[in-house]
Amino acid sequence: MRHALARAALLPSALLACAALTGCDGIDTKRMAEGESIFAGFAQPTPAQAAVWSQDPYDPDKRYRGTNMLANAPFGSEDVYVRMYRMKLGGPPADKPDEDLGVRGVAARALGMHGDPADTRLIIPLLKEKDRRVRLEAVRALQRLHNPEAIDALLPLVDDAKEPDKDVRAEAASALGQYAQPRVLQALISALGDDDLLVTRATVSSLRTLTGQNFGEDQAAWTTWARNTSDPFAGRTAYVYPVFNRDKIWWEYIPLWPPPPNEVAGQPAGAGQGG
């Protein structure tokens, strides 16, 4: 029965989930405002409420928030939720992706956290969206899923003539650090000519991971070395995706309050399977 209410919310009929809840409108803001403590306003939605929100057909903000909360929950990797993330990107049995860009972006984030390499096919189309925040979510998701099919979509994103956003370029340079292929090496060396320090730092980090060499941001030195070495990936080290970390906010020092969602660095799902 663990999380049974949350699972019920993902059934075709949202009425089943609503019947199991005290209400389907989310947090009672009036009650929160009148609470006995200043901390009443920090009440968190239940898993069942988050599941209902994730399926709200009328409110994309609720779908976004519900999906995000489920993805970050301890049970967010359970099959029923992973299928839901995929459906929001058009995976079966859905016949089309969610109509809201933000929802598609957070679904990509969720698949990066809990999906498998095959999910890159659902995420790749987001790299062409006009909204830079959605492209950023997609690139970061691809850092956590190892699938050489992503290479062709990532390569243009380290070219400042094709990708205008520096954050997207930097995250794409990081994602490419897991693919030991000559075309990736050449694209990263070219990216050292980027005018933005954030991009060049990410590029150097990926070059060091792929080759075991460290010529810093010296593009000419990297070019000469790559031209004269017979096996540029002989010194390759394991790729570890970047993670989110921050210090505690004041209320997170309250006893029993959950800590910040800091992550442990790791290797992408599917790493070691070639490419």
Q: Which residues pair with 145 in a beta bridge?
A: 269
Residue 158 to residue 258: CA distance in whole angstroms: 37
pTM, 2 dp: 0.81
Angstrom distance (rounded) from CA 46 to CA 264: 25
Helix (H) / strand (E) element for 157: namely none
Q: Classify residue 91 as left (phi > 0), alpha (psi -120 to 50) or beta.
A: beta
Per DSSP, the three-state class of 116 is coil
**pLDDT < 70 regions, the chain:** 1-44, 244-248, 250-262, 274
